[in-house]
Amino acid sequence: MTDLDTTKQADSDEKEKGTPTVTRLEPTTELLAEIESKSQELETATPQEILSWASERFGPYFAMATAFGPEGMTMIHMLSEIAPETPIFNLETGYQFQETLDLRDQVNQRYGIEVQLITPELTVEQYEAKHGGPLYEKDPNQCCFDRKIKLLQDVSRRLHAWTSAIRRDQSSHRAQAPIVGWDKKFGLVKVSPLANSTKQDVWGMITKYDIPYNPLHDKGYSSVGCWPCTRAVLFGEDERAGRWSGTAKTECGLHSIDD
């Protein structure tokens, strides 16, 4: 498997000196023009065509992040056929449901793909001890930063482009997502092959190809994140209403476009 471990190995010497081996992409005028043009061109492409382009364009420096949602599971299925060498990683906050983590094994059994777990520096126990209890109760933004954003910042040092399975119709915020864009927060090109897909498209593919999915979806959890910040949704509620319910927070920050 050509994965992040391999790249880590390659730059381990340099990392010790604090210098990543992978030369970071700079958002030059030429690069921004290229991805804007490609994004428009790919508006009518299939998710498979978008993934094919991205894996060819960015080669070993292209990776997928997944929280094992239904959208991500369909993309893993596609990548297993198009570019199975693509590194796939999960930001393992330490607060994920066991049902979510179990999908990692199912992916391995079904596709022979090992999803890499990226973990924070501190365990949950160490982190809660440091903050005098669970930070998700007092400051979920900081908790998401420490246990998600920071991890992707670290991974991004070894990449040029990343992909995730967001859909534009999931929220008004995600409606702005381009197919291909410059992600200034992480200094990467971001590819969203499912931007134009619908919930029906995703579940239709899961059914058609018998793709594994999180059993929590059958218990009313339409969107699954960390267990302390996720609840099942009620009939008629928005599909992301169960995330950080009762607070103004709607995103962990990984997919924020305006900051």
Residues assigned a catalytic role = 252
Total residues interacting with ligand SF4, rule: CB under 6 A: 13
- Sketch the per residue contact string, 117 through 136, with ligand SF4: x for CB under 6 A, - otherwise: -------------------x
* 60 touching ligand SF4, by CB under 6 A: no
Contact criterion met (CB below 8 Å) for 115 and 89: yes
* 144 touching ligand SF4, by CB under 6 A: yes
Which residue, among 170, 164, 178, has the nearest Cα to 41 in the 3D structure? 178
Query: Which lies closer to ligand SF4 via its Cβ, residue 5 or residue 238?
Result: 238
How far is 20 from 221, CA to CA, in rounded Å?
39
What is the per-residue burial (b if ≥16 Cβ within 10 Å, else e) of 201-219? bbbebbeeeebbbbebbee
The pair of structure tokens assigned to 202 is: 């995703």
- Window of 19-27, 42-50, 138-146, 182-190 that interacts with ligand SF4 by CB under 6 A: 138-146
* 225 touching ligand SF4, by CB under 6 A: yes
Q: Which of 59, 95, 173, 182 binds ligand SF4 (CB under 6 A)?
A: 95
* 229 touching ligand SF4, by CB under 6 A: yes
* 252 touching ligand SF4, by CB under 6 A: yes
What is the per-residue burial (b if ≥16 Cβ within 10 Å, else e) of 136-165? beeebbebbbbbbbebbeebbbbbbbbbbb
- Window of 50-58, 137-145, 169-177, 192-200 that interacts with ligand SF4 by CB under 6 A: 137-145
Query: Which lies closer to ligand SF4 via its Cβ, residue 103 or residue 113?
Result: 103
What is the per-residue burial (b if ≥16 Cβ within 10 Å, else e) of 242-251? bbbeeeeeeb
Closest approach, Cβ 226 to ligand SF4, in A, equals 3
Is the sign of the CA dihedral 99, 105, 107, 110 positive or negative?
A: negative
* Residue ranges in contact with ligand SF4 by CB under 6 A: 93, 95, 136, 140, 143-144, 147-148, 225-226, 228-229, 252
